[in-house]
Structure 1
Amino acid sequence: MNMHYLRRGTGRPLLLVHGIGGSLGSWNTIIDALAAERDVIAVDLPGHGKTPPLPGENSIGTLADALTAFLTTHDLLGTDAVGSSMGGRLVLELARRGGVLGAVVSLNPGGFWQGWEIPVFYHSVAISQKLVKALQPVMPAIAGSAVGRTVLLPQFSAQPWAIDSQQAIDEMHTFANTPVFEELLDRLAHGEVQKAAPQGSITEPLVIGWGRQDRVCLPGQARLALEKFPDARLYWFENCGHFPQWDQPGEATRLILAATSRHAFTDESIARRKSAKDSAPAVPKAAVIGGVLALLAGGVWLLASRRK
Structure 2
Amino acid sequence: MNDMHFIRHGSGKPLLLLHGIGGSWRSWQTIIDDLAKEREVIAVDLPGFGDTPPLPGDVSISTLADAVTEFLRHHNLLGIDAVGSSMGARLVLELARRGGVLGAVVSLDPGGFWRGWEIPAFYYSVAGSIRLIRALQPLMPALTGNVISRSVLFAQFSAKPWRLSQKATLDEVRTYAASPSFDELLYNLAYGEKQQGAPKGTIREPLVIGWGRQDRVCFPYQAQRALKLFPDAQLYWFDECGHLPQWDQPQETVQLILRAISGQQIPEKLSASRSPQPARSLNKAAVVGGVLALLAGGVWLAARQSRQVA
Name the TM-score, length of structure 1 as normaliser: 0.90
| 1:274 aligned residue | 274
Aligned residue in 2 for 1:148:
149
Q: Do the aligned partners of residues 196 and 280 (structure 1) sit closer, same or farther apart at CA in structure 2, a change above 3 Å counting? A: farther
Is 1:29 aligned with 2:30? yes
Q: Is the 8 A contact 1:156 1:242 kept in 2?
A: yes
Q: Is the alpha carbon distance of 1:73 and 1:266 closer, same or farther for their aligned partners in structure 2, counting shifts above 3 Å?
A: same
Residue 151 of structure 1: how far off its partner (Å): 1.4
For residue 93 of structure 1, what is the aligned residue in structure 2? 94
| SS of aligned partner of 2:224 | helix
Aligned match of 1:171: 172
Equivalent residues of 1:239, 1:282 under 8 A apart: no
Q: Which whole-Å CA distance do the structure 1 matches of 2:205 and 2:106 have between them?
A: 11
> Secondary structure at 1:118's aligned position in 2?
helix
1:253-272 mapped onto 2 (5 Å cutoff): 253-268=254-269, 270-272=270-272
Point out 4+ residue stretches in structure 1 off by more than 4 angstroms: none
Where in structure 2 are the equivalents of 1:201-240 lying within 5 Å? 201-240=202-241
Mapping for residues 1-308 of structure 1, pairs under 5 Å = 1=1, 2-268=3-269, 270-275=270-275, 279-281=277-279
Q: What is the deviation of 1:41? A: 0.3
Aligned length: 293
CA contact (8 A) 2:48 2:54 kept: yes
Partner SS, residue 7 of structure 2: strand
* Equivalent-residue separation in structure 1 for 2:257 and 2:280 (angstroms): 24
Answer whether contact 2:163 2:280 (CA < 8 A) is retained.
no
> Which amino acid in 2 is paired with 1:244?
P
Q: CA deviation at 1:273?
A: 4.8
1:29-55 Cα offsets, whole Å, 9 max, x none, are: 000000000010000000000000001
Q: Give, in whole Å, the separation in 2 of the partners of 1:257 and 1:44.
A: 22
Computing the radius of gyration from Cα coordinates, the structure with the larger value is: 2
CA distance in structure 2 between the aligned counterparts of 1:249 and 1:76, rounded to whole angstroms:
26
Deviation at 1:146, TM superposition (A): 1.2
SS at match of 1:202: coil
SS in 1 for 2:8: strand
Please list the CA deviations of residues 246-302 of structure 1 after superposition, one character each: whole Å capped at 9, or x if unmatched.
Answer: 00000000000000011223122x2345245xx453999xx9xx9xxx9xxx9xx99
Aligned partners of 1:158 and 1:282 also within 8 Å = no
Q: Structure 2: how far apart are the matches of 1:145 and 1:17?
A: 29
Question: Contact 1:19 / 1:86 at 8 angstroms: preserved in 2?
Answer: yes
Distance in 1 (CA, whole Å) between partners of 2:13 and 2:275 is 28
Structure 1 gap ranges (5+)? none
Q: Counterpart of 1:119 in 2: which secondary structure?
A: helix
**Matched AA of 2:165:** D
Is the 2:16–2:83 contact (alpha carbons within 8 Å) kept by the matching residues of 1? yes
**1:195-243, CA deviations, whole angstroms, 9 ceiling, x for partnerless residues?**
1100000000000000000000110110110010000000000000000
- Is the CA contact (8 Å cut-off) linking 2:109 and 2:210 kept in structure 1? yes
Provide the C-alpha distance between the structure 1 equivalents of 2:69 and 2:278, rounded to a whole number of angstroms: 38
Distance 2:281 2:94 in 1: 33
Q: What is the letter of the counterpart of residue 64 of structure 1?
A: A
Give the TM-score taking structure 2 as reference length: 0.90
The DSSP-based 3-state class of the residue aligned with 2:91 is helix
Secondary structure of 1:42's match? strand
- The answer to whether the Cα contact below 8 Å between 2:241 and 2:249 also exists between their aligned partners in 1 is yes
Unaligned runs of 5+ in 2: none
